[in-house]
Structure 1
Amino acid sequence: MSKDTGGPAFPTIGYDSGAAANGIGLSVTDDPGMTLRDYLAAKALQGMLPYPGNEMWGSFAEMTPKQAAESAYGYADAMLAARVKP
């Protein structure tokens, strides 16, 4: 499993009274929500499931849900790795 999550996919901004005392007022909350890795895996799975026999991606019709999820995270890891290449 990849240790690089890509950071939060949709970071939330909340009011921070401590930051407000310094004149800022906004800060990223402690709950960043879904990671970019989770988002990319969901998008990969969304594309894979309608075409279970696609030879390019392998036959998902014969995979268990766990295997399909692991495959989707494999695609997500590849997408995250491709982001850092020049």
Structure 2
Amino acid sequence: QKLGIALALLNNPKLVILDEPMNGLDPKAVKNVRETIIDFKNQGVTFLISSHILSELVKVTDSILIIDKGKIIKETTMEELNQSNE
């Protein structure tokens, strides 16, 4: 996972697509990947992340797009999503 992410970031891309980037990683590696995503995001890189680990997505995302069977069913910000669950 870490090698794949490193390769994806190698040429200073504007968009990085990651599929389950935290899957199978130990807690220290998850933290490192999360920090790397945030660092690159702060430099203007856009990430499209597919993941079922919502607790990790909350820590790195600004906006969320929920897709079911190929159709967008919800597009929102993390802040709006958190407020709707209160």
Scaled by the length of structure 2, the TM-score of the pair is 0.27
Query: Which has a greater percent of strand?
Result: 2
Scaled by the length of structure 1, the TM-score of the pair is 0.27
Structure with the larger RCO, 1 or 2 (CA within 8 Å, 6+ apart) = 1
Which has the greater radius of gyration?
1
